[in-house]
């Protein structure tokens, strides 16, 4: 019962936050940044309490497919709330709140085999924490890249749309995107290093796809950053490379978990 109450509360708060941000975006109400952040913090607290009840067990922490998705969405909301304190990123709430709500619904409705990590295995937990933080940063980067792509496209066609009027200047949007990518690259590198230190074999059959896709994604982001500073890459080039890198990273993590936990397990 406690789980259901927390889930409903979380979904309600995310829905209110989304509706409020949508009304602000359409200029139906005056902007209320403090109210938006307060609702986000309440939703984050409820979401976190739900995870505390469902993720932790006697066997350890459960990082199954749907539990991992709910954990990552919590990190994404938390990072967005923190980053929005100093950067104009409120437009991302329109997509991030519904995404977080969707993971909460999936956690309640669907089942995947548990994947427990012992509470005493600090090395593995540090690797997982860094990986989740990296995935969260790159998810925000992907969302920012999509907005930047749409903004670029509409500005070229002289559209005076709601999107153009609500988003910060193009230079600011690009600056935020590359800040997210830099942070993501640093954290992802640390995640790979801790994986090499604390995981017995990163290229064992069950981890090989995740490791390879993560390394390729890291190479893509590193190439993008090098291209940015060497050749001034921006606009469509920057958004394209960002989305490719994020897609590789998510395929490597969720794709491998989907196959191992939801397809192979059921077939077996």
Average of per-residue pLDDT across 25-40: 76
Q: Where are the domains of the chain?
A: 1-116, 121-268
* Window from 18-32, 57-71, 87-101, 167-181 with minimum mean pLDDT: 18-32
Average of per-residue pLDDT across 122-147: 93
At 245 the pLDDT is 95
pLDDT class of 152 with cuts at 50, 70, 90: confident
Q: Are 25 and 166 a contacting pair, CB within 8 Å?
A: yes
Element (H, E) at 256: helix 256-257
pTM score > 0.85 for this model? yes
Higher pLDDT: 159 or 247? It is 247
Percent of the chain exceeding pLDDT 70 equals 88
Average of per-residue pLDDT across 78-99: 90
| Backbone phi, psi, residue 150, to 5° | -65, -40
CA 187 to chain centre: 13
Give the Å distances, CA to CA, from 98 to 18, 36, 205: 7, 14, 34
Terminal alpha carbon distance of the chain: 33
pLDDT class of 1 with cuts at 50, 70, 90: low
Average of per-residue pLDDT across 24-37: 73
CA 81-86-87 angle, 5° bins: 85
Higher pLDDT: 129 or 31? It is 129
Give the Å distances, CA to CA, from 110 to 104, 186, 255: 10, 33, 17
Average of per-residue pLDDT across 124-146: 94
Average of per-residue pLDDT across 246-262: 78
- Using the CB atoms, write b or e for 128-167: b if 16+ within 10 Å: bbbbbbbbbbbbbbbbbbbbbbbbbebeeeeeeeebeebb
């Amino acid at each position: 019962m406690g789980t259901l109450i927390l889930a409903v509360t979380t979904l309600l708060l995310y829905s209110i936050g989304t509706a409020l941000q949508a009304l602000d975006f359409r200029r139906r109400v005056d902007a209320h940044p403090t109210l938006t952040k307060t609702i986000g913090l309440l939703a984050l607290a409820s979401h976190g309490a739900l995870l505390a009840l469902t993720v932790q067990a006697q066997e350890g922490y459960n990082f199954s497919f749907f539990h991992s998705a709910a954990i990552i969405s919590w990190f994404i909301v938390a990072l967005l709330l923190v980053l929005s304190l100093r950067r104009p990123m409120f437009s991302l709430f329109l997509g991030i709140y519904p995404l977080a709500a969707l993971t909460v619904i999936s956690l309640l409705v669907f089942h995947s085999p548990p994947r427990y990590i012992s509470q005493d295995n600090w090395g593995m937990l540090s690797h997982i924490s860094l990986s989740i933080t990296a995935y969260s940063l790159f998810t925000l980067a992907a969302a920012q890249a999509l907005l930047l792509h749409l903004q670029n496209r509409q500005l070229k066609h002289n559209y005076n749309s709601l999107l153009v009027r609500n988003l910060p200047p193009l230079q600011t949007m690009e600056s935020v995107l590359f800040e997210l990518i830099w942070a993501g690259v640093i954290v992802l590198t640390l995640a790979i290093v801790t994986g090499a230190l604390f995981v017995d074999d990163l290229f064992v059959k069950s981890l090989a796809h995740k490791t390879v896709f993560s390394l390729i994604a890291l190479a893509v982001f590193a190439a993008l950053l090098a291209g940015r500073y060497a050749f001034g890459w921006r606009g469509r080039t920057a958004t394209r490379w960002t989305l490719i890198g994020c897609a590789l990273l998510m395929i490597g993590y969720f794709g491998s978990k989907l196959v191992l936990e939801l397809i192979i397990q059921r077939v077996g």
